[in-house]
Amino acid sequence: MSVPVWVIDTNVLISAALSAGGNCDQIVRAAVDEKIRLAWSSPMLAKYRAVLLRPKFKFSSPVVSSLLATFGPNNQVSPKPAPSLPDPNDEVFFGTALATTDKILVTGDSAHFPAELCFPVEVLTPAQAVQLLLKR
């Protein structure tokens, strides 16, 4: 059985860093344990880095580097063109998910990814993603 390839929104990564043991942390830990692979694109990684380094989060540069190391070089993809979404900043995550075989996007802001615009990508909340992990 192949390892599923998922894309996570920035809010999932931030929540994982802030809340040990929560759903988002379980998703990132599943990637570290190689139960899933986290696909990423260069624009996504830039967004992750910019948000993680915001002063309000108080993450040090080494902590940010450690978090971003979860995104291995073999999981980089080139995003596909995405439809216009309510928040244009989310289009890179959707386009990256479109470029993966599994087409799964995990986000805490599912309202930013309306189902009628997002087919064939399956948009999951962190809780739904953890349930899917438990079934594997």
Residues 1-54 pLDDT 10s = 689 999 999 999 999 999 999 999 999 999 999 999 999 999 999 999 999 999
In a 3-state reduction of DSSP, which class is residue 114?
A: coil
Distance CA 46, CA 48 (A): 5
Coil, helix or strand for 124?
A: strand
pTM (2 d.p.)? 0.94
What is the structure's pLDDT at 1?
Answer: 65
Which domains are delineated in the chain?
5-135 (3.40.50.1010)
Tens digits of per-residue pLDDT, 63-84? 999 889 888 889 999 999 999 9
